[in-house]
Chain A
Amino acid sequence: MTNYIVRRVILNLFVIYLVGSLIFVLVRLLPGSFIIQRSGLDLAGLTEERIALAKAELGLDKSIGEQYVTYWADLLRLDFGFSFETRHSVVSELADAVPYSFELGVGILLVGLTISIPVGIISAVRQDEWQDYLLRGFAIIALSFPVFWTAALITIANLNFGSPLRLEVIAQPHVWEDPWAAIQWYIIPSFCGGIAGTASIMRVLRSELLEVLRQDYIRTAHSKGLAESTVILRHALQNAFLPVLTLIGLTLASLITGQIILESMFNIPGVGRELIEAISLRDYSMVQGIVLMVASVIVFTNLIVDISYGYLDPRVRFS
């Protein structure tokens, strides 16, 4: 087990190294540079000396090779550099942005799980009855609706039918500061993201439950005279839930994709919006920092899921 974990961690670190190098190259392939992007229309004011000065200040005057070495030397000391735009360290910029993304992510997962677990159970228990068809139809539609369209439709409904929810919140409250305002602010984006996540979770849960419900121990539980709800919740659901865990790890990347769109639609100053801004400004350090963070989260979440599998399901053995 320890061997397995050590091997996986080393492989993951190698993957992170590749991601870091890939992003270092990709970001420098982007046409234009921060200096041109920032100077706006004042291109005439950009004299050679000023460009050289600005480049030296941003560390862009060195050769690519030198930049690459400094980049990794800094990263190994956990120094992510400073944002070209704000001149604050990338870490402090992320410290501002991450809580917003985290709150939205938790909101999306909460909505997704509250809908998908009961829906998946009903669909499996009532297999091939009308409830099953209805819910599966709903799942396939939810899977196909783009996040941004759901969000736009809700906005239209809000505008035309009125709603108690505030659409425009100028203050950007955190849950721990002003819970009620924050919930109003997050509920629509969470709902839009959650609906999209619901479908895949529900489908996996349903097919796993169908498999588990055919097992001998479920028949035994039934013949012991246990209530239907006990059989499903205590005996079946626990065993059907493991693949859902894997799925959450695997769909993390697509959840983050949805989050990037939702953050830019709903003006949530989270990591996704910062990333889009940083890319369009050619703010190299910010892009590198954000992408490395996102990749690490995805890679290590999957590792944790895989390891916890071994503990949760004794049948799984690592070699």
Chain B
Amino acid sequence: MSSATDILIEDPLQETKRSGLIGGFFGALQSFYVKKTLGAVGLTIILVLVIVAVFAPFLSRYDPSFTFQSENPDYKTNPSIADLAKNSNAGSPMIVAQLQQPDSEHWFGTTRAGRDIFARIIYGTRTSLAVGIIASVLAVGLGIFVGGVCGYYLGWLDLLVQRVIDTLQALPSLVLLLLVGQTFEPSLTNVIITMGVIGLPITSRLIRSAVLAIRASTFVEAAAALGASDSRIMFRHVFPNIGSVVIISFTIGIGAYILFEASLSFLGVGPMGVISWGRMVNEGRASIDIHPWMTVFSGAALSLTVVAFNLFGDAIRDVLDPRLRGSR
């Protein structure tokens, strides 16, 4: 075992020292920050990202879809045909400020369409967080329902549902996303729903095996012997005990869904009408030799976000999964 005492064991002591639920929460948070340094780093980055997403209009400096213009150095009031042949923009005093290098005005430079990359990355936080969190909530919610019912009732229903889940798992998620993504209008909502459904095999498997384990325990047997109904056993005895599995699969999932959305957008079939880091990485590749900034910065934002969620998810799993305690 590791030298660090387990957080969950320490919790009751903390709660006696501090009064009330809130005190207990902050106590747990404090010991989380002390014992799981990496997880705490992840949690801090996540909190910063949430703040960035919420206050995007105040932090972005510019409107993300505003087209910046700059003075045309080749401007001539009355360009001759020869001038126009050399530079077709010679007649216009202002030109689109495209592909500018990072400077004090545009911290991360501008895109090919003359938009501020920094502002677009700030707004991209909203898309990524929304996709990651909502898709994960959806996948876990569906997983609780399907996994709970299958794990509790078993029988032919379970056998059949498990085969359907095998089917979903026999396909790389990207293939399903590519197909379903093009069937429906690629709006943000549809992409999120599709990803939630595609995450179902993993979450429902985890929850089903957790329910199976609890179902075999003595206290469920005792409750059944006392004549408790199925729904009472499920809601009073089974569900409260799968909390850790639910939290683990929720936190671990978020990073994966963010990566999925980015991959889809990178391939050009992601959600339309929103700013997506994955699409920015791809757009930046067109002029990667002279202007690598969009690819570099949007990819960095994406990776940082996923790293943060993975660090946090790992720490949460270590805390909640007793089998991994000590080995970390």
Contacts and interface: CB of A to CB of B under 8 A. Distances in A.
Contacts of A149: 281, 295, 299, 302-303
A124 to B, nearest CB: 9
Contacts of B327: 207, 210-211
B134 to A, nearest CB: 20
A152 B281 contact: yes
Interface stretch (A40-48, A249-257, A307-315): A249-257
A140 B324 contact: no
A144 B307 contact: yes
Interface stretch (B63-71, B148-156, B160-168): B160-168
A30 B179 contact: yes
A207 B178 contact: no
Contacts of B278: 146, 148
Interface string A14-45: 11101100110011011100000000000000
Contacts of A231: none
Contacts of A29: 183
Interface string B304-328: 0011001100100000000010010
A242 interface: no
A294 interface: yes
A260 B263 CA distance: 10
With a 10 A CB-CB cut-off, give which of B2, B38, B175, B281 has the most chain A CB atoms. Answer: B175
A26 B307 contact: no
Nearest to A15: B166
Contact of B289 (A18, A148, A159): A159
A143 B311 CA distance: 10
Contact of A140 (B175, B267, B299, B311): B311
B183 A155 contact: no
Per DSSP, are chain B's interface residues mostly helix, strand or loop, or mixed? Answer: helix
Contacts of A253: 169-173
B268 to A, nearest CB: 9
B263 A146 contact: yes
B285 interface: yes
A14 B160 CA distance: 11
A128 interface: yes
Contacts of A155: 285, 288
Contacts of A261: 174, 263, 266-267
A146 B302 contact: yes
Nearest to B165: A15
B296 interface: yes
A148 B163 contact: no
Contact of B307 (A11, A141, A254, A294): A141
A308 B4 CA distance: 39
Interface string B216-231: 0000000000000000
Interface string A138-182: 001101111111001101100100000000000000000000000
B262 interface: yes
Contact of B171 (A14, A153, A295): A295
A153 B299 contact: yes
B167 A140 contact: no
A298 B182 CA distance: 24
Nearest to A210: B327
A143 B314 CA distance: 12
A26 B172 contact: no
Contacts of B306: 144-146
B114 interface: no
B259 interface: yes
A291 interface: yes
Nearest to A196: B259
Contacts of B172: 253-254, 256-257, 260, 294, 298
A153 B267 contact: no
B255 interface: yes
Contacts of B324: 207
B303 A144 contact: yes
6 contacts: A152-B285, A152-B296, A207-B324, A207-B327, A260-B174, A261-B267
Given A144-B306, A146-B259, A156 B295 contact: yes
A21 B254 CA distance: 30
Given A156-B295, A156-B296, A276-B267, A291 B171 contact: yes
A150 B314 CA distance: 22
